[in-house]
Structure 1
């Protein structure tokens, strides 16, 4: 029996038809044979020329996840006739304004948001260039491909094709419910945002050759939640063969605190209780009838957030048949070349007043294990105490989980591993204190070379030089699985034989042996249990 009465289904189909007609207004007939036209599996798209790079924006890679498709696995997008104009970003996915430094260049929020963008320097489809597919961060609660700092044009100039995709966030992307699991062909629910990313990877596999890309040479990379996602896809059997290399910037799905995964069964109970209490809705029909903005507002308002289960990925039994650490420990991950690391000041630089309570906070957090933690984070002066407290904050937040990902791959994987730490103090901007740290997300603009679009920053020649080097390291890795190349400081592999060397990315990049390994091992003896 249908979950929707016939009148509601008819209304949905009518709405979908009208949306398609509106969308078709953006599909114009154009002269055939244009170098800015590309034939995808669903129809032709027409991009725009930006210097030596052809840019295609707002291409749908899945059907709009609205109406009866809300909280379903992404469905195939509809084909179109004529030439679809792909010169502007699609809407960003529904989200509350959690992150003030995220400034989007798109039409605004929409539940119909599953589009992707392609930047290609290829002149034709015979180029077979390596492909880099980016997943943005934002705690699985925010983000958009239209952010200027992750614009793909400059990175693409390094001889790679850059693809970025939107994916469902928050309650739209990670809500679970027993009824959702029951209706799913995979008997799973809760990982719709991750499945959107998988759908985008499948689109790349099927279509990127037409843009001059090599579908058998794809690198998946991301930052923060995007990095957590990359590690999850590396663990997932569903993603096998969809990408051949992985880059993680600040985060791995090995944490029990930051973005820690729940089991689907536990999540179903808590999310269903949340829906009943906050929305007074107990059926999928009732929940899917709630307007998107109302669904978002009621999920994120202060009264609800006190009891809000953070909506993020779960161990669903399908995309992730087990936890990510368990999959890696068993050697069941997709064994790929891995480049990963984090920033020097992931948790910021703490003040002296905060440090004064450092020992008390460690005692509270670690209990009987506090003495060995304090011994690992030694501090003989006020300056060292500030550094030690800042380091432990960063490790607790995101550095340890990234380290654990590297260690897990080093233990059961056979492919090369490269580790970095971004040390460059990022220039001042309206959202960050002037020149005080290499803060979380600070490396993104350097990887993408997007400084020219971020005019509020006071970039220096040293920043520009480091950015060019990082673009080369990242694109070299995408091409060959090795970041090294002519004119670059040598980046050794990360393994016992090299002394677990780390590439420190600053004004003068240099590789050094990991001098904090003992600290990570101490934390692992506590958190890794």
Structure 2
């Protein structure tokens, strides 16, 4: 946990566990496109006509290319706007997801080796124009996922917004840095291809979203997990200025949004090239000659993420934000109460070897180092938790997600930016689709990713929420929707989400009515032992 790479390791453990078949994946991947009417709708973009369709929720246009396919000589190049196409392009099916391994999620049971993947999806209610826009960046550790992971059509209709979901390059394809690639980069620093894809998608929105009823001057960029980390990075990127007016970060402040240094990224790239047998010049041409399957199979064990040092990202995001050199936009930021339970399950119980009391002290030291591990042993005594796995999960989630989110709140507020803080704390929430079967024996609580299904259809599936959870979901949609529309986040019959500039330390706690309802909590920092983790991070 001492570096962001620990998240990658734990995510890999989750993937490995669930991919073994211990937890059967949901059997369907339905979207409203499946049940859509046959009535087509056409829109003329700068690049050509697209034909989408009407659904019960409005209009949707799927699989619109926004960039030239990054293949051949364009692999590991900055993305280029898509060239115009003739005729009318069908926009009724999702485009291919970017190169990634198989996972347990519905629709992701097989790996993909498709590099022609830079597509986006537009969900637009019927009716008036100049609606506010939300651009969603998916999670997946920057190595997995796609815009199709959420279907936000109901959210768009309920909030009166246009929602765009985006594919971007992942893993080695999106974040390889190398000396040869540095020489080809416009700012002399390679390794930010996936984040540059996101910016090109935002430029597409800027130029074309009015044709779908959206307002290009009211764009909010949003994301969860790696998507939230991407938002944090985009806030710090000078080349993204003016492309969005607000940001939403869900569980994305892990590692304080840290980027790799140019030196470490290039060294990692050299090791990756050597793994593929590309050790003699020209290394880049050798790598571009490798098939996508070989690139994917070789990328395991490396830390893929943005690189600081060039014009795209001159400095670490945390430093830019603290110094007031980030985008001057409002931010909605938060995390979940039990973030660590998903990762702890993947590392221990999901592997069939629950953490024991005897192994607990060493697990903390291995994760956090000798000093912080010893302090964590005192702060998270086994007597306070049902099992050692849950104790470890609490420490892991606090160090990895909860306390970095609160630190980000403080940095944003000190720089004078409006920052609205929340914590998703519905411990009754059903595990998201991929881990629902495991939830019968393991209490995931309000774990990582669980809030997404309260806002959108996750993997196209409607989550079975009970009546109290449906009320909470409606209010969460109202909070997010009002923020996207440009106001303070509000919901019917509940307090406004606090602005950390005027109410520092007060966080909106999102719970169902039977366990206290939606309240303003002044104790989140103490509840997550953040004095310990803030000192360990300094």
Aligned match for 1:425, one of 424, 428, 453 = 428
Aligned match for 1:330, one of 295, 310, 323 = 323
CA separation of 1:488 and 1:354: change in aligned 2, threshold 3 A: farther
SS of alignment partner, residue 146 of structure 1: helix
Whether the 8 Å contact between 2:104 and 2:434 is mirrored in structure 1 is no
Larger radius of gyration: 1
State the match for 2:413 in structure 1: 410
Moved more, 106-115 or 500-509: 106-115
State the match for 1:154 in structure 2: 154
State the match for 1:319 in structure 2: 312
Distance 1:113 1:326 in 2: 33
State the match for 2:496 in structure 1: 491
CA separation of 1:459 and 1:414: change in aligned 2, threshold 3 A: closer
Whether the 8 Å contact between 1:232 and 1:253 is mirrored in structure 2 is no
State the match for 1:454 in structure 2: 461
Distance 1:313 1:63 in 2: 21
Aligned match for 2:261, one of 260, 263, 278 = 263
SS of alignment partner, residue 94 of structure 1: coil
State the match for 2:147 in structure 1: 145
State the match for 1:123 in structure 2: 127
Shift of 1:170: 0.5
Distance 1:91 1:235 in 2: 29
Distance 1:267 1:340 in 2: 28
TM-score w.r.t. the length of structure 1 is 0.83
Whether the 8 Å contact between 2:241 and 2:327 is mirrored in structure 1 is yes
CA separation of 1:368 and 1:51: change in aligned 2, threshold 3 A: closer
TM-score w.r.t. the length of structure 2 is 0.82
SS of alignment partner, residue 232 of structure 2: helix
SS of alignment partner, residue 193 of structure 1: helix
Shift of 1:260: 4.9
Shift of 1:35: 7.7
Distance 1:430 1:288 in 2: 34
Distance 1:273 1:380 in 2: 45
Aligned match for 1:339, one of 325, 332, 337 = 332
Shift of 1:281: 4.8
Distance 1:102 1:279 in 2: 35
Q: How many residues align?
A: 477
Whether the 8 Å contact between 2:337 and 2:425 is mirrored in structure 1 is yes
State the match for 2:53 in structure 1: 48
Deviations 1:138-167 (A, max 9, x none): 0011001223xx102111112010000100
CA separation of 1:71 and 1:123: change in aligned 2, threshold 3 A: same
Distance 2:481 2:261 in 1: 36
RMSD, aligned α-carbons = 2.7
Shift of 1:338: 1.1
Deviations 1:487-523 (A, max 9, x none): 2411241437535222222223422323242421331
SS of alignment partner, residue 348 of structure 1: helix
Distance 1:105 1:477 in 2: 35
Distance 1:381 1:92 in 2: 43
Whether the 8 Å contact between 1:119 and 1:162 is mirrored in structure 2 is yes
CA separation of 1:184 and 1:382: change in aligned 2, threshold 3 A: closer
Shift of 1:242: 0.6
* 1:111 lines up with 2:115 in the alignment: yes
Shift of 1:362: 3.9
Deviations 1:466-502 (A, max 9, x none): 22221111111100241114x2411241437535222
Whether the 8 Å contact between 2:409 and 2:419 is mirrored in structure 1 is no
Please give the residue correspondences for 1:32-181 in structure 2 after superposition, counting only pairs within 5 Å.
36-97=41-102, 99-104=103-108, 109-123=113-127, 127-147=129-149, 150-158=150-158, 159-181=160-182
Shift of 1:458: 4.2
State the match for 2:20 in structure 1: none
SS of alignment partner, residue 341 of structure 1: strand
Distance 2:417 2:359 in 1: 43
Distance 1:105 1:388 in 2: 32
Shift of 1:397: 3.0
SS of alignment partner, residue 75 of structure 1: coil
Whether the 8 Å contact between 1:42 and 1:79 is mirrored in structure 2 is yes
CA separation of 1:186 and 1:219: change in aligned 2, threshold 3 A: same
Shift of 1:218: 0.7
Whether the 8 Å contact between 1:410 and 1:417 is mirrored in structure 2 is no
Distance 2:458 2:371 in 1: 47
Distance 1:94 1:202 in 2: 23
Deviations 1:362-417 (A, max 9, x none): 45634345565455546764549876543211123322332222221122133242
SS of alignment partner, residue 311 of structure 2: coil
Unpaired runs of at least 5, structure 2: 1-38
Aligned match for 1:464, one of 470, 475, 487 = 470
Aligned match for 1:445, one of 453, 458, 467 = 453
Shift of 1:445: 1.3
Distance 1:38 1:106 in 2: 33
Whether the 8 Å contact between 2:357 and 2:382 is mirrored in structure 1 is no
Deviations 1:32-63 (A, max 9, x none): xx981111111111110012411001111110
Distance 1:226 1:178 in 2: 27
SS of alignment partner, residue 435 of structure 2: coil
Shift of 1:419: 2.4
